[in-house]
Homo-oligomer: A and B are copies of this chain.
Amino acid sequence: MNKVISNAVIRRMPRYYRYLGDLLDRGIERISSNELSHIMNVTASQIRQDLNNFGGFGQQGYGYNVKKLYEEIGKILGLDVTHNLIIIGAGNLGQALAGYVQFEKRGFKIISLFDTNEDVINKTVRGVKIRPIEELDDYVKSNKVDIAAFTMPREKAPAMAKKIISLGIKAIWNFANMELSVPDDVVIENVHLSDSLMQLSYNIVKDKN
């Protein structure tokens, strides 16, 4: 699949995936683009356009096969393979992420947390151990690690990025609220929790303007 797909389309895919997963859980086998449009609150033509990027999946007069579409989008998103994930920074946020059962359901397996704080080292979160940061090198060398989640203090993020890249990790899920420069073969996803709070705020004030 070498076609260039716009970022905007890609950003909507996880949402399709979640909604289709909910439909599946409710035993719904097929759905028209109009119905999907209604529950997802986007236009039916947007849905058709989006899904056409990946070859369609719909049949005229039948609609979408929910299970098939769910599985295809899962494949596009790389959810049909297991990604091993380590969390660097086992404070509240790191432990909160480790506690999410949903990630595992989607193929993201949290295999270790790391921290410098003696108070949390050797504790476990849902059975996953918090290790001292000094063990990071050896751990990464002897385990397959696909993704490092950055939940350590912001100022430690740039050095840690260099470190994990030197160890061969190719993906960073970055909560450190700072843009990190990484080589082209390393992928990074920045999470800015305050962005959603600002959108909420926009919606609170907009009717008052």
Contact = CB atoms under 8 A, between A and B. Distances in A.
A10 interface: yes
A137 interface: no
Contacts of A14: 192, 194-195, 198-199
A75 B174 CA distance: 28
Contact of A201 (B92, B108, B209): B108
Interface string A85-114: 000000111011101101100111000000
Contact of A79 (B18, B188, B198): B198
Contacts of A69: none
Contacts of A177: 102
Contact of A204 (B15, B100, B187, B191): B187
A160 interface: no
Interface string A171-209: 101000100000000011101111111111111111001
A99 B175 CA distance: 13
A112 to B, nearest CB: 17
Interface string A145-174: 011000000000000000000000011010
A13 interface: yes
Nearest to A188: B200
B83 A204 contact: yes
A201 to B, nearest CB: 4
Contacts of A24: none
A78 B189 contact: no
A8 B10 contact: no
A13 B196 contact: no
A141 interface: no
Contacts of A189: 196-197, 199-200, 203
7 contacts: A10-B202, A77-B201, A91-B99, A100-B193, A171-B203, A187-B203, A191-B196
